[in-house]
Amino acid sequence: MKKLLSLALLAITIVSLTACSSTSDSDKTDKGTQKVENKTKKQSKWTFDGTTFTTKQGIYTITAVKKMPSAEDGKNVIVFEFDFKNNTKKEIDMMADNNWYVYVHATQKTKNSNKSLDPGTIGLDANANSLEQAREDVMTSDSVLPGKTVQGVASYTLVNDAPVKLKFSDEGFNTIATKEYTVK
């Protein structure tokens, strides 16, 4: 009888150890998958450091901020000139693939609220030319080759002369950073 109990206990121990070792193998696989997921998150990290906005597809470096006349009579726009570098291995369509206005939102304080600013249109000069036409064309019709840099522009129609706050967001529309710009 004691021998039967000993054999039964031994069988239970072997089954238990086998079950533990198979769990250990699946844990190793899960940990490997988690490492890949974490690396992916790190590679697609979106940041803003005060002048440089990094997305998963490229890097916007703000080079100038200025106030200009709007195409709308009596209004002005705040203009953000920037260099955009494509840091992927494929062409980036600036309008469809990495549109500034999807990830960067502008607000301005009014008497009663923070007003969201609409994308603006820069006014024309006396010869009916846009002062920023070349940069605007990049934003609406160009694609950027892998590893290359182009100059672009974004503008917002102002509601007053109060500072403009930009909110930089990632692809999940989570706020990464905000920065306030004085309208000059």
pLDDT digits (tens, 9 = 90+) for 45-94: 899 999 999 999 999 999 999 999 998 889 999 999 999 999 999 999 88
pTM of the full structure: 0.72
β-bridge pairing 58-69 and 104-109 = unpaired
Strand ordering across the sheet containing 76-86: 47-48, 52-54, 58-69, 76-86, 149-157
Q: Distance between CA atoms of 123 and 125, rounded to whole angstroms?
A: 7
Cβ density class 97-107: b for 16+ within 10 Å, e for less: ebebeebbbbb
* pLDDT tens by residue, 158-177: 999 999 999 999 999 999 99
115 φ/ψ angles, rounded to the nearest 5 degrees: -95, 130
Give the other-Cβ count within 10 Å of 71's Cβ: 14
**pLDDT value of residue 98:** 82
